[in-house]
């Protein structure tokens, strides 16, 4: 893969996992020079999810696993209740919408709007068999390797060697779950290098927009604060949906993703 390390939502290997599935590492396509020079201390802003002409914003790419056998999750553009949004259409599929931000400062706040149109009732974020989501928004971070616990560090090194990329050591996702409690913080069942905060669940009405505004540093402390008191530089911003573990289907929409001061 050319360029800097991209998105790694699954970051590390699931040892003994099924071929072509979670036993890989996700390596994103790199933005490749589209980030303009920024003043010292500034944080880059992803381009809008939706560009003129009803297409994905420049720099946003769909990335799957190496040798992936299941279909890619489909990402399109739609207008829903007057909002231009990205449609996340998962059907026994996997894939992530990625915007690379290598080395950029993490934002103070992360804001977006989303709605669930077809839930996946088989989601169970604590179990590998249920590790899917109809919608999630993530940030990947370039956490220094020495901050990673020893055993996980060795697995990450192996994953980086196989991928040929300096994969990010930490990814934080804000997820639309199912039965999990709102604000529950969980480690991904495949890898602790990915941790999630459940913002919405089955009690939140389908077909209704919800606006989110997250304090990135506070959420980092809740999930990765045991490894680093400071928020590391970014690697990528991610919007995603998957249904490869449950074999189910889901539909959701995400709009207005942006960084805030």
pLDDT of residue 166: 66
- Which CATH code fits 50-144+156-260? 2.60.120
Is 9 a residue whose pLDDT tops 80? no
pLDDT of residue 155: 82
Instruction: With 0.75 as the threshold, say if the pTM is over it.
Output: yes
pLDDT of residue 20: 36
For 151-179, give the DSSP string: HHHHHHHHHHHHHTS---SEEEEEEE-SS
Strands of 61-63's sheet, edge to edge?
Answer: 61-63, 96-100, 234-242, 133-141, 170-176, 194-200, 185-187
Contact 9, 131 (CB under 8 A): no
| Structure-token pair, residue 231 | 């928020």
pLDDT of residue 261: 87
pLDDT of residue 3: 33
For strands 194-200 and 170-176, give the pairing. Answer: parallel
Please state the rounded mean pLDDT for residues 48-72. 93
pLDDT of residue 65: 82
Please state the rounded mean pLDDT for residues 231-244. 97
pLDDT of residue 25: 33
pLDDT of residue 144: 82
Domain boundaries, the chain: 50-144+156-260
Is 131 a residue whose pLDDT tops 60? yes
pLDDT of residue 4: 32
SS3 of residue 153 by DSSP: helix
pLDDT of residue 169: 85
pLDDT of residue 165: 61
Is 249 a residue whose pLDDT tops 70? yes
* Cα-trace Rg, the chain: 17
Q: Work out the angle at residue 46's Cα, subtended by the Cα atoms of residues 21 and 226, and round it to the nearest 5 degrees.
A: 65
In tens, the pLDDT along 74-108 reads 999 999 999 999 999 999 999 999 999 999 999 99
In tens, the pLDDT along 172-187 reads 999 999 999 999 999 9
pLDDT band, residue 31 (cuts 50/70/90): very low
The rounded distance, in Å, linking the Cα atoms of 167 and 163 is 8
| Structure-token pair, residue 65 | 């696993």
The rounded distance, in Å, linking the Cα atoms of 196 and 192 is 10
| Structure-token pair, residue 133 | 């989501």
């Amino acid at each position: 893969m050319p360029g800097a390390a991209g998105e790694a939502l699954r970051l590390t290997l699931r040892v003994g996992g099924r071929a072509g599935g979670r036993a890989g590492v996700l390596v994103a396509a790199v933005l490749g020079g589209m980030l303009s020079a920024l003043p010292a201390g500034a944080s880059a802003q992803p381009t809008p999810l939706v560009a003129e002409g009803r297409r994905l914003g420049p720099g946003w790419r769909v990335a799957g696993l190496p040798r992936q056998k299941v279909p890619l999750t489909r990402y399109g553009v739609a207008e829903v209740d007057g909002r231009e949004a990205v449609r996340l259409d998962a059907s026994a599929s996997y894939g992530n919408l990625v915007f690379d931000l290598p080395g950029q400062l993490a934002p103070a706040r992360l804001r977006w709007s989303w709605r669930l149109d077809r839930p996946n009732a088989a989601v169970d974020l604590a179990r590998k068999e249920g590790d899917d989501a109809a919608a999630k928004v993530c940030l990947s971070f370039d956490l220094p390797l020495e901050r990673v616990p020893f055993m996980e560090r060795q697995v990450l090194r192996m994953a980086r060697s196989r991928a040929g990329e300096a994969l990010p050591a930490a990814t934080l996702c804000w997820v639309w779950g199912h039965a999990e409690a709102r604000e529950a913080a969980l480690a991904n069942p495949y890898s602790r290098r990915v941790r999630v905060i459940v913002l919405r669940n089955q009690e939140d009405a389908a077909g209704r927009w919800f606006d989110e505004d997250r304090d990135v540093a506070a959420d980092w402390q809740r999930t990765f604060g045991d490894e680093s008191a400071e928020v590391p530089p970014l690697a990528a911003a991610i919007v995603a949906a998957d249904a490869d573990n449950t074999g189910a289907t889901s539909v959701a929409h995400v709009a207005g993703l942006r960084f805030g001061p």
